[in-house]
Amino acid sequence: MQESYETKQLYMKRLTRADAHMVCSFYAKNAREFALYEPLTYDNACNINYHQTMLEYEEEYFKENEMCRYYLFEKNNPFETVGTVSFRNISLSYYKCATLGYKIDKDHRRRGYAEESIKRGMQIMDEELHLHRIEATVMPVNIGSMNLLEKVGFEREGLMRDKFKLNGVWEDHYLYAFIMPWNK
């Protein structure tokens, strides 16, 4: 996989420890909202050391083909992170699958960035890793995310009860999946 890709509106780039200030700014700005859907504390969101460590982990997992996160930048402003798209739990063995994750800055939503980056990311996973299945989980209250997944072709497969503990509460999540129709 490459270090960066382009879509119509975005640059999708892998970042390194040296870019932690951009990642920290992105998470700090969106911390309260992101914490509704992922295990992120406000202290970690605003801690540059935390993000340096996370970027180092991402690099190691990338080298092993276990995870890939691309940070999103608008083509007309390539210095402000506006989102991420990631594929983790990548299995290149018999399963040929990965788990999709994504987030968009609260001030950059409804511009098609999530859809565009997910589609490009899935194309990369197909063409370069030859994956067969992409999964995503979403809380039942996150209607926007469910609509997005269905728009890009994911199908809801079922409810996973008490899947993740967020803010001290075990939360149900729907499991969505996309089967690569061209890779059967």
The residue behind tokens 């899935």 is 122
User: Smallest Cα–Cα separation from 68: which of 106, 105, 120, 107?
Assistant: 120
Q: For the chain, state the CA radius of gyration.
A: 16
Domain ranges of the chain: 4-179
Identify the sign of the CA torsion 140, 101, 182, 129: negative
User: Does an H or E element contain 137, and which?
Assistant: strand 133-138
> What pTM was computed for the model?
0.92
Question: How high is the pLDDT of residue 163?
Answer: 93
CATH number of 4-179: 3.40.630.30
User: In angstroms, rounded to a whole number, what is the distance separating the alpha carbons of residues 70 and 68?
Assistant: 7
Q: Over the stretch 74-92, which tens digit does the pLDDT of each residue have? A: 999 988 999 999 999 999 9
